[in-house]
Amino acid sequence: MVKEYLIFLAQTHTSFRKAELESLADLHNIEVDLSEHNEENPFVIVKLKNDEEAFKLIDRAILAKSIYELWGHGESFDQLHRDVKKKMDFLRGPYMDNTAFKFENLTFQGGKKTREQQIRLYEQFAYLEFKGKIKMKNPDQVFTILEQYSLGTDLYPLEYPDHVYFGRLVNVSARTRGAVEKYEIKKRPYFGTTSFDAELSLFTCNMGQVKKNQLVYDPFVGTGSFLVAASEFGGITIGSEIEFLTLKGKGPKRRLKDNFDYYKKPLHFCDALCMDFTNNAFRDDLMFGSIICDPPYGVREGVKVCGSSDDKVGREKIVIDGQLAYLRKDYIQPKKAYSLDLLLDDLLDFSAKRLETGSRLCFWMPVANDEDIPTMIPQHENLELIYELVQDFHKWSRRLLVYVKRDGNYKGKTLKSEHREGTNNFRDRYFHKFSRDSKLTQN
The answer to whether residues 229 and 360 belong to one domain is yes
Chosen domain end from 153, 177, 201:
177
Q: Examine residue 106 and state whether it is found in any structural domain, yes or no.
A: yes
* Same domain flag for 139 and 245: no
**pLDDT on residue 31:** 97
- Of 426, 434, 277, the C-alpha closest to 345 is 277
On whether residue 435 sits in a domain, the answer given is no
Same domain, 102 and 113: yes
Where among 148, 177, 206 does a domain terminate? 177
Do 353 and 324 lie in a common domain? Answer: no
Q: How much is the pLDDT for 431?
A: 53
- Domain assignment present for residue 434? The answer is no
Same domain? For 12 and 37 the reply is yes
Asked whether residue 322 falls in the same domain as residue 288, the answer is no
Q: With respect to residue 18, please indicate whether it lies within any of the assigned structural domains.
A: yes
Q: Is residue 223 part of a domain?
A: yes
Residue 439 lies in a domain: no
Residues 312 and 372 occupy one common structural domain? no
Q: What is the pLDDT of residue 304?
A: 81
152 assigned to some structural domain: yes
Tell me: do 218 and 327 sit in the same domain: no
**What is the residue-level pLDDT of the chain in tens, covering all 443 positions?**
899 999 999 999 999 999 999 999 999 999 999 999 999 999 999 999 999 999 999 999 999 999 999 999 999 999 999 999 999 999 999 999 999 999 999 999 988 899 999 999 999 999 999 999 999 999 999 999 999 999 999 888 999 999 999 999 999 999 999 999 999 999 999 998 889 999 999 999 999 999 999 999 999 999 999 999 999 999 999 999 998 888 887 778 788 999 999 999 999 999 999 999 999 999 999 999 999 999 987 555 568 888 776 655 445 678 888 888 878 877 777 888 888 889 999 999 999 999 999 999 999 998 876 555 556 899 999 999 999 999 998 778 899 999 999 999 999 998 888 776 655 555 565 555 655 554 434 43
Of 160, 177, 194, which residue constitutes the final position of a domain? 177
Domain count across the chain? 3
The per-residue pLDDT for 443 is 37
Quick one: 236 and 110 in the same domain?
A: no
Q: Is residue 355 part of a domain?
A: yes
Same domain, 72 and 200: no
Residues 144 and 92 in one domain: yes
108 with 19, same domain: the answer is yes
Instruction: Provide the residue range defining the domain that includes 17.
Output: 3-177
Whether pTM exceeds 0.85: yes
CATH of the domain at 136: 3.30.2130.30
